[in-house]
């Protein structure tokens, strides 16, 4: 007698699609001044206990008028980032939901640009070096309501693993067994009935206590945004140096005291290195997960899939190059200063010699 095959895939699930969009809109945002704007309505914000008080964002309402009925939250960060979260309920089969996912993601990508631009217009005067927008990043989470009497996490993965794997890759066709297994092998869950599958652009969550996870997905997306932004800024600086387009050193830079009041490439490179190092380190240390093995595993997996470590290493290498260039420029400045001092000493000795000779001949 043949074994029964897997159950048909037309079971109707309910849940929500969460889409996180982040934009870098400048180098710094004065949150206190933004909060005081009459057009801005701030909202109370309670950070999860796992987050330190580094770079606490300002939560606000989406400025009116707007047509975004699915916007769940808007957050502004003092280092120039803007985060938008959308929540879209669904009740359908996983197969139908998979077919609509890419279209939905594109739709809300366009919506996020419109909404972010609305926030940017209202807050622009309190943004240092405003630019809409330098970089952007997004992440999508498929949250399915748990049905413990029908499916455990293991059963769900067994029966719908192919649909889940292709959905979080935004594919409408079933993936190969190799690809499917590669995506599903890193799945995690706290209790037996839970299932969390994380990929580089989206995730699938089957967990009744999923709310706290959303903060991790949003924050990881913010981290990715900033790392991409800093990498882009450093690339621009290095390209300018390689092409010889970097601003030349001012002659006043070589004077011992006047140099304190002059901005130049050496000082700018040093400030850029410090700013990037401080912000990236604080972002990296914002989450504190000691004694929380499950969330620690979840966040480690998110970091791995988004390749945050790779981005950090790339930025560290770029910063090392910047530091080397700064050292070369500083050495050039010091050498020229020494030469100037030597010339001044020679001139003074020559003047003293002339004065002595004049006194001699007059006497």
pLDDT of residue 265: 58
Q: How far apart are CA 321 and CA 204, in angstroms?
A: 40
Q: Are 228 and 334 in contact (CB under 8 A)?
A: no
Q: How far apart are CA 253 and CA 342, in angstroms?
A: 17
pLDDT of residue 242: 67
pLDDT of residue 83: 96
pLDDT of residue 127: 96
Give every CB contact of residue 113 below 8 A, 6+ residues apart in sequence.
Answer: none
pLDDT of residue 1: 41
Q: Are 40 and 122 in contact (CB under 8 A)?
A: yes
Q: For residue 16, which of 74, 97, 96, 83 has the smallest C-alpha distance?
A: 97
Q: Map tokens 């002659």 to a residue.
A: 251
The pTM of the full predicted model, rounded to 2 decimals, is: 0.83
pLDDT of residue 169: 93
pLDDT of residue 92: 94
**DSSP-assigned beta bridge partners for residue 349:** none
Q: How far apart are CA 178 and CA 294, in angstroms?
A: 27
Q: How far apart are CA 168 and CA 139, in angstroms?
A: 10
pLDDT of residue 261: 47
Q: For residue 201, which of 157, 141, 160 has the smallest C-alpha distance?
A: 141
The burial class, CB within 10 Å (0-12 / 13-18 / 19+), for 105 is middle
Q: Give the angle subtended at the CA of 68 by the CAs of 66 and 70, to the nearest 5°.
A: 155
Q: What is the mean pLDDT of each run of 10 residues along the chain (363 residues)?
A: 51 95 94 94 88 87 82 93 95 92 92 94 94 92 91 91 94 90 91 91 94 92 93 82 57 52 59 81 80 88 93 87 75 74 87 84 72
Q: How far apart are CA 262 and CA 276, in angstroms?
A: 22
What torsion do the CA atoms of 353, 359, 362, 363 make, to the nearest 10 degrees? -130
User: What count of other Cβ atoms lies within 10 Å of the Cβ of residue 173?
Assistant: 6
């Amino acid at each position: 007698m043949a074994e029964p095959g897997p159950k048909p895939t037309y079971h109707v699930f309910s849940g929500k699609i969460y889409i996180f969009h982040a934009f870098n809109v400048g180098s710094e945002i004065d949150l206190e001044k933004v909060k005081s704007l009459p057009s801005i309505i701030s909202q109370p914000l309670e950070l999860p206990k796992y987050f330190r008080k580094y770079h606490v964002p300002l939560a606000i309402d989406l400025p009116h008028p707007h047509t975004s009925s699915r916007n769940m939250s808007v957050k502004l960060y003092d280092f120039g980032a803007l985060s938008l979260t959308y929540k879209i309920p669904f009740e359908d089969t996983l197969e139908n939901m998979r077919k609509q996912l890419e279209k939905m993601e594109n739709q809300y990508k366009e919506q996020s640009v419109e909404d972010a631009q609305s926030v940017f217009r209202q807050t622009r005067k309190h943004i240092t070096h405003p630019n809409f927008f330098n970089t952007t990043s997004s992440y999508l989470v498929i949250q399915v309501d748990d049905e413990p009497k029908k499916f455990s996490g293991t059963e769900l993965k067994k029966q719908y693993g192919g649909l889940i794997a292709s959905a979080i890759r935004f594919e409408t066709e079933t993936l190969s067994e190799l690809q499917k297994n590669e995506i599903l092998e890193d799945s995690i869950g706290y209790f037996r009935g839970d299932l969390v599958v994380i990929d580089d652009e989206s995730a699938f969550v089957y967990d009744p206590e999923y709310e706290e996870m959303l903060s991790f997905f949003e924050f990881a997306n913010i981290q990715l945004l900033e790392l991409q932004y800093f990498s882009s800024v450093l690339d621009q600086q290095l390209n300018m140096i390689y092409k010889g387009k970097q601003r030349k050193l001012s002659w006043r830079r070589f004077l011992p005291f006047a140099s304190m009041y002059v901005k130049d490439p050496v000082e700018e490179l040093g400030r850029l290195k410090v700013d990037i190092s401080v912000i990236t380190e604080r972002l990296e240390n914002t989450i504190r997960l000691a004694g929380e093995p499950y969330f620690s595993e979840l966040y480690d997996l998110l970091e791995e899939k988004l390749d945050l470590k790779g981005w950090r290493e790339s930025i560290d290498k770029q910063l090392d190059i910047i530091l080397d260039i700064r050292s070369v420029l500083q050495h050039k400045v010091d050498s020229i200063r020494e030469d100037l001092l030597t010339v001044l000493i020679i001139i003074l000795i020559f003047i003293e010699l002339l004065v002595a000779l004049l006194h001699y001949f007059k006497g």
